[in-house]
């Protein structure tokens, strides 16, 4: 059995009252993917477990495969002249992509593309190296050729459907202050549905700043999850809902070119497109049926074994 030492940001844990960001959810899912592996033993530590970059380097070196997925630590590795770890990503920032800070200034990479792409880089989709957002000075190079794409997963063993019962919530969950989540569109959708007679016995509900535990509990009462995001790199919230047997409403071409184009309920990205589909699902009494299909979709597309297979395939290319 080979040992993988993995260092990232904070790792997500259920039952701890955490407000999950994408990196925490990804760390949680990586551990879930390798939980029952007979070929690899994954040992993970957050960056806060170390006092210096040399300690991180020693920890990664004391394994068959060293995996680092934390941007600031990668910068320290590069600046200290340390070799790039065996595996990087999928969360770590690319040196060729345009990132904006809160004040709309550019983030400038402290490490070079040649160093960053000298070994395998994991990605969940093509967004980091896609030409549309690659800095001008790095365009013209096929950066995607340096990347191994992996499928994200959901911990289907611990995140399961509850009995359908009397689910009556039509739920929107996200950070309302983030423009990418487009909460304004959700407000428009609700207004349009209400103008045309409302949702009968169902109830619109919005949550923001919630913990993962609160969200998973609330999904047991949810008949439909509505996502109005402009874009998502993966969107754990949507796929956690599907794992819970909750149908989800998302925009067309939700995850870009490489991610899950077979999602069953995609709508035009307008208030009317969402509102029409909500009314249709309720009027034709299709929500429970779609919930069963959502769980089936999750089992086929976001099973932890899928993520493990993709990562192991990348390891074989080291």
Look at the block and give the residue holding tokens 């309720």. Answer: 282
Q: What is the pTM of this model?
A: 0.87
Q: Quick check: helix, strand or coil at residue 148?
A: strand
Which sign, positive or negative, has the C-alpha torsion 75, 79, 84, 85?
negative
The DSSP 8-state label assigned to residue 97 in this structure reads: B
Pairing relation of β-strands 147-149 and 87-88? Answer: unpaired
Contacts of 46 (CB under 8 A, 6+ apart): 7, 8, 9, 10, 11
pLDDT score, position 264: 62
Q: How many CB atoms lie within 10 A of CB 191?
A: 12
* Angle separating helix axes 212-219 and 236-243, nearest 10 degrees: 40
Tens of pLDDT along the chain (318 residues) come to: 999 999 998 889 999 999 988 889 999 999 999 998 999 999 999 999 999 999 999 999 999 999 999 999 999 999 999 999 999 999 999 999 988 776 667 889 999 999 999 999 999 877 778 777 889 999 988 888 889 999 889 999 999 999 999 899 999 999 999 888 999 999 999 999 999 888 989 999 999 999 999 999 999 999 999 999 987 777 889 999 999 999 999 988 776 544 454 556 789 999 999 999 999 999 999 999 999 999 999 999 899 999 999 999 999 988
pLDDT score, position 8: 94
Contacts of 89 (CB under 8 A, 6+ apart): 69, 121, 122, 123, 147
Contacts of 33 (CB under 8 A, 6+ apart): 153, 304, 305, 307, 308, 311
Pairing relation of β-strands 203-207 and 169-173? Answer: parallel
The DSSP 8-state label assigned to residue 11 in this structure reads: P
* Burial class (CB within 10 angstroms; exposed 0-12, middle 13-18, buried 19+) of 17: exposed
| 205: Cα separation from own chain's centroid | 23
Residue 238's nearest CA partner among 304, 247, 230, 278 is 247
């Amino acid at each position: 059995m080979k040992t993988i030492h993995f260092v990232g940001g904070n790792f997500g844990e259920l039952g701890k009252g955490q407000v999950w960001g994408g990196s925490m959810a990804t760390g949680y899912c990586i551990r879930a993917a390798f939980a029952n592996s007979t070929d690899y033993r994954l040992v993970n530590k957050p960056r806060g477990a170390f006092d210096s970059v040399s300690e991180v380097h020693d920890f990664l070196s004391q394994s068959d495969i060293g995996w680092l997925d934390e941007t600031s630590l990668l910068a320290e590795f590069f600046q200290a002249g340390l070799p790039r770890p065996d595996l990087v990503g999928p969360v770590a920032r690319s040196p060729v992509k345009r990132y904006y800070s809160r004040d709309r200034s550019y983030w400038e990479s402290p490490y070079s593309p040649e160093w960053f792409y000298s070994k395998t880089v994991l990605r969940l989709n093509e967004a980091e190296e896609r030409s549309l957002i690659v800095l001008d000075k790095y365009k013209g190079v096929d950066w995607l050729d340096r990347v191994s794409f992996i499928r994200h997963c959901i911990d289907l063993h611990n995140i399961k459907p509850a009995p359908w019962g009397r689910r009556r919530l039509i739920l929107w969950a996200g950070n309302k202050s983030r423009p990418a989540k487009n909460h304004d569109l959700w407000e428009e959708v609700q207004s349009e549905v209400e103008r045309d007679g409302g949702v009968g016995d169902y109830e619109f509900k919005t949550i923001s700043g919630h913990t993962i535990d609160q969200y998973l509990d609330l999904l047991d009462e949810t008949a439909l999850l509505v996502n109005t995001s402009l874009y998502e790199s993966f969107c754990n919230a949507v796929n956690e809902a599907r794992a819970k047997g909750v149908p989800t409403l998302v925009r067309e071409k939700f995850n870009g070119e490489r991610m899950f184009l077979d999602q069953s309920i995609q709508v035009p990205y307008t208030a009317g497109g969402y509102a029409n589909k909500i009314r249709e699902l309720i009027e034709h009494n299709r929500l429970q049926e779609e919930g069963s299909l959502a769980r089936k979709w999750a089992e086929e597309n976001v099973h932890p074994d899928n993520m493990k297979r993709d990562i192991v395939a990348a390891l074989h290319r080291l």
